[in-house]
A and B are shown apart, each in its own frame.
Chain A
Amino acid sequence: MTSGVLTRHALAPRLVGVLSLLAFFALIEVLIRIGVINRFIVPPPSEIIGSFGRVITEEHVFERFLLTAAECLTAGVMLTVFGIAGGVLMHRFKLLQQACETWVAALASAPIVLMYPLFMVIFGRNVWTIIMIGFVAALPPVILKTIEGFAGTRRVLIDVGRSLKLTRSQQFYKILFPAALPTIFVGVRLGLIFALINVVGVEFLINFGGLGQLINDLAERYDLPGTYAAIFFVIMVSVLFFMALEKVERWLRPE
């Protein structure tokens, strides 16, 4: 009966999800307090919540967030410019596309982030290593989605452009590019997600930069509640970033 009422209500599943999560954290808190889980391995959730204020003020989270955001933004601008340009070039020259598209697709499945020691040698241990890894690792989806966007332009739109005797550049700016834009943005969205993942990951690995370094710092100081709080903070930032990108994509995509 109760489950029937629950399933009929639209908000019920979300409520169950949130309550389950809260119940899980409450259970962990109890297990730690009664000594079943070692508090020196997993700090109580109440201590993690309590450490948020300290981490935010003492560890300069806002400045770190801005640094990570700036690295992602720089990588994002670079991959948008070079990714779309690469896609346009390959769409324009079919021979180049036939020769290289499978290479780009293969590169998308390659563990590019593992080249970070190499990038450290080339660029040094600074923000450019982080930005370049974010850029290179996120480039393939933007190129591939740009090609897909142009290839998927409806024939009728192209023929309308031809019947209006549009020049090649008019055809591109007035027909092809606007039609391909929603698909291109899917690529940019994927690219930005990859860039964020790689930027934070490399910050953590090379112990340099913004939010990724914060987690490494706190872990090396054995500040467990702080480490967990920082991880939670990075997850929240990532999730909000993905949600914002989805909103923009929905806004761009025609109904």
Chain B
Amino acid sequence: MNAATSAENNQADLADVARVLAGDAQAFEGIVRRWQGPLINMAWRYCRDRGRAEEMAQEAFLRAWRGLSCWRRESSFSTWLFALAANVYRSELKRFPTETLPLEAAPEPAGLATQLHEIEERGQHEVLRRAVLALPLRYREPVVLFYFHEMDLAAAARTMGMPEGTLKARLSRARALLRQRFPRLEDERGARKVFTLETGKEAAR
């Protein structure tokens, strides 16, 4: 999201919040329309289940509606909304955890030759994304939010309400755990380059 859009959204949020607090419930629709995409995508990264992501996002909007008067305008509306949504998603997933394999059980292709085809056929990247859900909670959430915020460490730290240094340390540990589980990741990148040179088909990737 660029700075101009962000400023426009902020203005629109302020106006809508003021209207809602003045008693116009319908004004909340503007907020839902603007933030439905980000909140659903954030929930998706937490659970990787589309239906559940929408339910969790709906719950987050309802909590935002109920707690709108608690937003103290110390941070932007989006920062407040993301932090609230993260709290909702965290507690929802504590109540009803997603079914995930343990990290050690996440499959990895046996060899490079088959790996290349499996990347094509079965979306091997999805395996790594799902493996994130098998990380311990203290490492999982920093990973989810860091990549959701397009690798903006400060934004992820604000959403988690955590110092940037702590978040950075947890990210580093999470990456180390993923590297241990998927030791051939660097090979995959190398193999993809070779594949590109040989076939010329993969240049668009």
Please say whether chains A and B are actual partners in one complex.
no
